[in-house]
Structures are given as structure tokens and as C-alpha cells.
Amino acid sequence: MEKGPLGRRRGRGARERILSASQQLFRDQGINRTGMDQLCAAAQVSKRTAYQHFTSKDELVAEYLRRFDPDVMPGVFDRTDLTPRERLLAAFEMPASTPLCPYIAAAVELHDPQHPASQYARDYKTAIAARLTETAREAGATNPEQLGEQLALLIDGASARTRVLNGDSFPTAAAIAAVLIDNAIPAPSPRQPSDDRGTTGSAPVPVGGQ
């Protein structure tokens, strides 16, 4: 394989190559501005093969977004070396080159709440907020749901603003997050958690209503 003289073949991983190319192109150019021809060329896949794996571009877009589901903010919520509070703040340590959240981009580009991709977007946003809420509860917040929703809003705001302004807005969001977190956690030391590694069970964990 690999460039034979006649009809070179790139192997069987066509589907993976398509999805991989989708990630890059949809991120760099947007969904609507990426044609199937260009996508297939980038994936080194014939157009026919692409349409054997995905019956339509819409389906490909949906699968492209579904791929982000399993790893909801990987390497942030699963870091056991950080206290819950530090994990909440770590969610805002994004490189300045971070592209706009693909779910927001898709929801705006597709502009159809009925599109499966828009459904995935809602699910993902809900999942992120749930993760934040869960961590907020571990951190001992009096109202974890509220704090989780607030932090989720900050992330989206920073993401959108970074895109429009061509500048990093995550530090601003992180500063807000620090204020909110400090205000939402009742008793702990107002000092920085420099070495206070009390694991997760140290907080009293009051039951939040609602």
C-alpha cells in the first residue's frame, strides 16, 4: 500500500482519517466553509468512501461532535494531584490559542436547534456544568449547582470573547472564578491553598438544596 503505481491505497482506517481531518478543518475553517471535496482530499480518502461511512455531511458533523463527549475536559477534572478548588481553577488555564468551543461554533454555524449536533452541544454543556457542580460540591461550596453554572458561563464567555477579540480572555475569566469560588466556600482558610492538601473528604460537604 502507500502509493502504489496504480490506484494507491491508504489502508483501512478511512473512517478515522476522515474524522481526524474533520477535527482540524472544522476547527480551522469552520463547518460550512469546509467542503466534502477538500475534506476527503485532506483525509486522503475518496469521496465515495466517505459517503459509505457517513450517509451525509450532517451525520459526519454529528459524529465529529460526538467524539468530544467522552473526554469532557480531560486532564482537568481527573487530576488527583489538585484540590477540588484548584481543579475548578485549572479549568481556566487554557492556552491563548484555544479555539472556540466546537459546540458553540457548531450551534452558531448550523443555526438549527433540531440538528443532532445542536442536541450534542446542549448535552455537552450540561455535562460540563455537572462536572463543575460536582467538583464545587467536593470543594465545599454552599450552592454547588449555582457555582457550577456560573463557572460554566465564564468558560463560554472566555471562549467566545477570545474568538471575537483575537486575544486571550481566559485570565479574566479565571480572576472572576477565583472571586466566585472564594465567595461560595464558607469556612475554609481565606489564604491561598498553597499546601493544604487535605484530599477531598476534608470539607464538611453541606447538602445543597434545589
Partner DNA sequence: TCCTATATACACCGGGCTGTGTACGTAACG
Partner DNA sequence: CGTTACGTACACAGCCCGGTGTATATAGGA
- Say whether residue 17 binds a copy of itself (CB under 8 A): no
Q: Quick one: which of 47, 79, 111, 197 contacts DNA (CB under 7 A)? A: 47
- Say whether residue 112 binds DNA (CB under 7 A): no
Instruction: Please report, as residue ranges, which positions from 161 to 190 form the binding site for DNA (by CB under 7 A).
Output: none
User: What mask of x and - would describe binding to a copy of itself in positions 123 to 162, judged by CB under 8 A?
Assistant: --xx---------------xx--x--xx-xxxxxxxxxx-
Nearer to DNA, 45 or 185 (CB): 45
By CB under 7 A, the count of residues binding DNA is 31
Residue tagged 453541606 (cell numbers): 206
Q: CB of residue 29 vs DNA: minimum separation in angstroms?
A: 9
- Residue 66 has φ and ψ, to the nearest 5°, of -60, -25
Residue 171, all three cell numbers: 485570565
Q: Which residues bind DNA (CB under 7 A)?
A: 1, 4, 6-15, 33-38, 44-49, 51-53, 55-58
Q: Which residues bind a copy of itself (CB under 8 A)?
A: 29-30, 32-33, 100, 103-105, 107-109, 111, 113, 118, 121-122, 125-126, 142-143, 146, 149-150, 152-161, 163-166, 169, 171-176, 178-180, 182-184, 190, 198-200, 203, 205, 207-210
